[in-house]
Structure 1
């Protein structure tokens, strides 16, 4: 009996390898091509996290309303065209995690206010008491974050 030694790969093996390499390369290419079109959606989660962090800092502060918590820049959410975060975080972001900014996006807010103060229950106060909608504008995309009158912070709006 003669035993033949197999040389090379079968056609099926080659096709499977080519398909796997194609899938991997498409996934890698999607990470680098068209990043600008997803920039607003990518920042949206960060904006929600930062707004919740500032809200939670205020709720844990135990400073009563008569002490004017809006004077403490850690407890007030600042919203400008290029930064969202605590007042102190946007003013000097070095070493802080309570702010978000990106060159690819700009922010706008309705109603037209620059700060959102929270009470001890996490509800927005003052001009923001009826709710706030933060719009995130990217080069080819838009997203929004809502701060509801009851304090709920969401990507899908208030109910």
Structure 2
């Protein structure tokens, strides 16, 4: 029997095919598992950015507290179930604005309940005067963003 007549795959060819199938299946499995496991941690950083932006908008306004709160919704932080941002941005949800974040993968809540208002120094006022906390809850974990009484915005833990 001639060696050229024997047809089949070599061991190296079989190993290469198995490795390629393993790589493709690992990629496909990660795509099917979704983004829920990292959604809260990623959105935590976005929420910090949005809170700081609303604070800076308020600090740069130079409008008295009563006039600012009555006339402009850009200076009030709103925390809704699916949106965190200025009241104006969460109601419009326009991609041209950068002062809001929204996701269908998580649930937002705040303590004390929103809206959170700031004075000209960026300190929370009203019911949030002693500080506030925003929770970002996904199916996998819950992350916190904290605002202390002096207006410092920090990442809380994730559990």
Instruction: Give the TM-score range, shorter chain.
Output: 0.7 to 0.9
Alignment of 1:58-77 (within 5 A): 58-65=58-65, 67-71=66-70, 72-77=72-77
Equivalent residue, structure 1, for 2:108:
107
- Secondary structure of the 1:149 match is coil
Cα deviation, 1:73-94, whole Å, max 9, x if unaligned, reads 0011001111110000000021
Distance 1:153 1:29 in 2: 38
If the length of structure 1 is used for normalisation, what is the TM-score? 0.76
If the length of structure 2 is used for normalisation, what is the TM-score? 0.76
Q: Report which of the two has the higher share of strand.
A: 2
> Structure 1: where are the runs of 5+ without partners?
1-17
- Of 72-81 and 31-40, more deviation after overlay is shown by 31-40
Distance 2:126 2:85 in 1: 18
Cα gap change, 1:30 to 1:49, in 2 (>3 Å): farther
Q: Which segments of structure 1 move beyond 2 Å, counting only runs of 4 or more?
A: 28-34
Distance 1:104 1:41 in 2: 12
Equivalent residue, structure 1, for 2:7:
none
